Structure 1
Amino acid sequence: MIKDPWFTVQQIDNQTFGISEYGHWEKVHSFLLLGVEKAVLIDTGLGIDNMKRITDQLTGLPIDVITTHVHADHIGSHGEFERVFVHEGDKDWLVNGIQGLSINQIRKDIRRDITLPTPVSFDPDTYRPFQVEPTGLVNDGDIIDLGNRKLMIYHTPGHSPGHICVFDETNGYLFTGDLLYDETPVYAFYPSTSPVDLVNSLERVAELPGVFMVYGSHNTLGLEASILEEVKRAVIYLRENDLARFGTGVHHFDGFSVKF
């Protein structure tokens, strides 16, 4: 497996790789899915270092970047790839800049609690999230056919207006972006988020049939599909107790938590 000073590459199967940034407090994961004629890269990480250096070592296939959502820690290496796709709900953020988070807050988050040496090209004082006109849009219900596997797009707003999840129906892998992960809270407390939409989106993915593993974009790489049963219970609890609104704080469940 690839040895790299910044990225950790973990093989999920022969055609699926997690590309992780464990040297940063957010422990961000991006995912490379290989097909027959092209590959899909789900997100491109923090932008502290260049992810294309890694993908070039993993495949010679052309790569389509599918953006789960437009936050700085998911679009960092977008500029290194020719074909970038995003949901309409987050398109304006990708073109004109992220709303609801100041550049000072973004720079504060990008620079703190780094435990590995960063490349000389990284300067947190001048860091700016990547901006670009996307190649195209992905929409709810779109199917991306890689020849040997089919990826279904689900629009799952809440964490951002255009947040999506990607379901690899062939292998049962559900890539949940920042909708669901463990250890630290999933959040919907900024003005650009929606607690109600987040709960609705959690309910939607929890009902998907055929999920074998859940791959969130932070912390543990790969969660058992049984976590979706806890998500169903959490949705009921949050609704019955009128907690899906700003200011209700952190709510802990078995295997994950949310912050409103």
Structure 2
Amino acid sequence: MMEDPWFTIQQINENTYAISEYGHWEKVHSFLLLGEEKAALIDTGLGIDHIKRITDQLTDLPIDVVTTHVHVDHIGSHGEFERIYVHEGDQDWLVNGISGLSIDQIRKNISRDITIPVPETFNPDTYQPFQGEPTGLLKDGDVIDLGNRILTIYHTPGHSPGHIAIFDESNRYLFTGDLLYDETPIYAFYPSTNPVDLVNSLEKIAGLSNASKVFGSHHTVGLDPEILNEVKSAVKFLREKKLIRFGTGIHEFKGFSVQF
């Protein structure tokens, strides 16, 4: 395991790494996937420190940034890379920012509950979330070939309009972004979210029965695929009880919870 003052680097297998920011309350993970011809970096973290410093140490392959969704904690270091891809549903947020989310609120969120020293380059008073044009747009069913490693894109809206999950066909790893993780609720209670879409997206990924591991973007790195069976049960419960709407609160299941 590489030592770094801000990032925690965990090797998942010989060509897959989690790059985590445990010193921040979000406990967000980015994932570096190496192929034979290029690499994919799934999200770029908070932008409190420069994630490219880490990826430069792990590979000299060209890197495509694959964005699960355009929230600040997932696009923080996008500006350090040349090739950035996002689903068309989140393109406007990447270019223009999220409507109604003030810079004061972003700076408040980014700077609170930090438990380890931040780099000298980080100033919450001047922090600016990335904005810029993507290199290309992703859609459901797209395939990214890294060279003997195929990634399939699944459009999974709800948490954001253009949220995606990524399935690594070679290792059967499912990267779920903010659609599925443990410890704190998955949320679809902001005006920019959609509870119905979120539940439909959970049902969609639950159908990937051949997944060997599930990697959410927060908290535990690597969940057992049995959680997808619990997701199926949760979807059925939420529909039967007519809970899929704003204001119904937090719904807890085995291994995860959802908040509407």
Taking structure 1 as the reference length, what is the TM-score of the superposition?
A: 0.98
> 1:109 is aligned with what amino acid?
N
Partner of 1:105: 105
Structure 1 residue 63 and structure 2 residue 63: aligned? yes
Deviations 1:14-57 (A, max 9, x none): 00000000000110000000001100000000000000000000
Partner of 1:158: 158
Q: Is the 8 A contact 1:169 1:210 kept in 2?
A: no
Partner of 1:45: 45
> 1:115 is aligned with what amino acid?
T
- Of stretches 69-78 and 142-151 in structure 1, the one that deviates more from structure 2 is 142-151
> 1:180 is aligned with what amino acid?
L
Structure 1 residue 143 and structure 2 residue 138: aligned? no
Shift of 1:127: 1.4
Distance in 2, Cα, partners of 1:102 & 1:201: 28
Partner of 2:220: 220
> Which structure 2 residues correspond to residues 223-242 of structure 1 after superposition, within 5 A?
223-242=223-242
Q: Is the 8 A contact 1:28 1:219 kept in 2?
A: yes
Distance in 1, Cα, partners of 2:119 & 2:39: 27
SS in 2 for 1:224: coil
Distance in 2, Cα, partners of 1:124 & 1:241: 43
SS in 2 for 1:257: strand
Partner of 2:88: 88
> 1:254 is aligned with what amino acid?
K
Partner of 1:19: 19
SS in 1 for 2:93: helix
Q: How many residues align?
A: 260
Shift of 1:147: 1.8
- Of stretches 146-155 and 3-12 in structure 1, the one that deviates more from structure 2 is 146-155
Distance in 1, Cα, partners of 2:85 & 2:62: 14
Partner of 1:128: 128
> 2:243 is aligned with what amino acid?
L
SS in 1 for 2:231: helix
Shift of 1:97: 0.7
Partner of 1:7: 7
Q: In the superposition, relative to structure 1, how do residues 186 and 100 fare at CA in structure 2: closer, same or farther (>3 Å)? A: farther
Shift of 1:100: 4.4
Q: Is the 8 A contact 1:230 1:253 kept in 2?
A: yes
Distance in 2, Cα, partners of 1:151 & 1:253: 29
- Considering only aligned residues, what root-mean-square deviation do their CA atoms show, in Å? 0.8
Taking structure 2 as the reference length, what is the TM-score of the superposition?
A: 0.98
Shift of 1:109: 1.3
Q: In the superposition, relative to structure 1, how do residues 41 and 205 fare at CA in structure 2: closer, same or farther (>3 Å)? A: same
Shift of 1:125: 1.6
What's the % identity of the aligned pairs?
75
> 1:104 is aligned with what amino acid?
D
Q: Is the 8 A contact 1:100 1:190 kept in 2?
A: no
SS in 1 for 2:204: helix
Q: Is the 8 A contact 1:100 1:191 kept in 2?
A: no
Shift of 1:2: 1.5
Distance in 2, Cα, partners of 1:256 & 1:83: 33
Runs of 4+ in 1 over 6 A off after TM superposition: none
